Structure 1
Amino acid sequence: MEQAKPTRMELIRVKNQIKLAEQGKDLLRQKMDALIQEFFLIMRDVSDSRFELEAIDASARHSLHLAVAVDDSVAVRSAALATRRGVYLDISGKNIMGVPVPVLEKKVISKGTFERGYSVLGVSGRIDEVAEKFERELDLIIALAETETSLRRLGEEIQMNRRRVNALEQVVIPELKEMAKEIKIAIEEREREDLFRLKKVKKIINRRKEAEKAEA
């Protein structure tokens, strides 16, 4: 803690710092509460999306195993190679309580039967079902990537705000209050010393006046 000058101006300055620190602590706590509320709202969406993803993944794998068993793996592999394409996403951003989070444009990966690139006459309905389910799974993965990234960034911001609140509450404000206390004690001590010296000087003056009167 820095050494403060024991003056009334310094005491006023430190008290103003305490007031600002307490206001900052309250604002940070309010922001943290709002972030936590938003965090749990997004967490609910993430939990639902994960459950849905696990379900569609299990269903897609089951359909894949069935297609391989009935249509043979060569037909399934040929259809998969025919549908290989890139996945393009538009990524932008938004702010949640001042926290930047990504926004992925919801491009639906699912395609119609005639859009997948393979011959409709060359594959069975089972292979179409496999393609449809894995396309749906990819849609969910993209959506989940956005919400999970938002969740992670909100969590980091909550932790950072918590550290700031704790620093103000446990370190900065107590040190400023201790500094204000020391300044006040120093000012009161100096005022007592000044008063003592003033009384002493007054006594000396009174004695001299009395001595002058006695001589006269």
Structure 2
Amino acid sequence: MAKTQVNPTRMELTRQKKKLSTANRGYKLLKDKRDELMRQFLILVKENMELRNQVEAGIKRANTNFVIAGSAMSKEALHTALMSPKQEISLAADRKNIMSVDVPVFHYETRRADSNDIYSYGYAFTSGDLDDAVKSLADVFPKMINLAEKEKTCQLIAAEIEKTRRRVNALEHIIIPGTLENIRYISMKLDENERSSQVRLLKVKDMMLEDTHHYREKQSAERGK
């Protein structure tokens, strides 16, 4: 393959050596990047699993309380109590960079300064289980936002790891070996050309010496006459 792709010249040999040096540096940098991304990915996955378990437990607890509240209150009273929420949430998305990967960062603000000010109904005609259900949802909401942030971060980093892995493999198994083969081929051809040139020079030298010898013999013969 190398024989049909490169010209065996010293200029091409210099270019291939520079290409090999660049490929080796790129391989090391990409390999370090891949390893660091893997390290951070494993940390994030562990945090994500713990957070997911907390969120699922919080939602399960809230659903249980809603079911209990629904059994203690009429359907109409329950809907009326939850019809006009007292608190509102505004969500903003930002970005941060992790090893050249832009990952999301979510920020939220509540309409009221007191985040515990969440009950939009009076306590006289509602069940205490409804209070527990609303409080459970309010408590799990920040974790849900954090979970969404971490899951998206894991997805983006996993995609970057796969992309970096393909580049590392391409450098390791295709570009670097191909460049080394090109360098070996060019070096071999240049050595062959140099040996051929030396043989030709030696032959020319022998011919010149032979011509000089014949010329001197001719001159000596002419002087003898």
TM-score, reference length from structure 1: 0.91
1:75 to 56, 74, 77: 77
**1:188 partnered with 2:191:** yes
Residue type at the aligned position of 2:139: R
Residue type at the aligned position of 2:121: Y
**1:175 partnered with 2:184:** no
Deviation at 1:19, TM superposition (A): 1.1
Residue type at the aligned position of 2:85: T
- SS for the counterpart of 2:6 is coil
- SS for the counterpart of 2:121 is coil
- Tell me the residue number matched to 1:137: 140
Distance 1:36 1:135 in 2: 34
RMSD of equivalent CA atoms: 2.1
5 Å-filtered alignment, 1:58-207, equals 58-83=60-85, 87-107=89-109, 111-112=115-116, 115-207=118-210
Distance 1:122 1:161 in 2: 60
Q: Which runs of 5+ in 2 are unaligned?
A: 220-225
1:14 to 13, 16, 27: 16
* Cα-to-partner distance string for 1:51-72 (whole Å, 9 max, x where unaligned): 1111112111111111111113
Distance 1:15 1:176 in 2: 8
Larger mean CA deviation between 39-48 and 103-112 belongs to 103-112
Q: Is the 8 A contact 1:32 1:162 kept in 2?
A: yes
- Tell me the residue number matched to 2:28: 26
Residue type at the aligned position of 1:12: T
TM-score, reference length from structure 2: 0.88
Distance 2:82 2:55 in 1: 21
Distance 1:108 1:167 in 2: 50
Distance 2:41 2:121 in 1: 43
Q: Is the 8 A contact 1:79 1:118 kept in 2?
A: yes
- SS for the counterpart of 1:100 is strand
Q: Is the 8 A contact 1:108 1:139 kept in 2?
A: no
Q: Is the 8 A contact 1:17 1:176 kept in 2?
A: yes
- Tell me the residue number matched to 2:222: none
- SS for the counterpart of 2:124 is helix
Distance 1:107 1:96 in 2: 25
5 Å-filtered alignment, 1:35-50, equals 35-50=37-52
Matched pairs, number: 215
Residue type at the aligned position of 1:200: K
Residue type at the aligned position of 2:33: K
Deviation at 1:17, TM superposition (A): 1.1
Deviation at 1:209, TM superposition (A): 1.0
* Cα-to-partner distance string for 1:153-190 (whole Å, 9 max, x where unaligned): 11111111111101111111111111111110110111
Question: Residues 72 and 51 of structure 1: is their aligned pair in 2 closer, same or farther, counting only changes over 3 Å?
Answer: same
Residue type at the aligned position of 2:127: S
Distance 1:200 1:105 in 2: 84
- Tell me the residue number matched to 2:59: 57
Q: Is the 8 A contact 2:82 2:120 kept in 1?
A: no
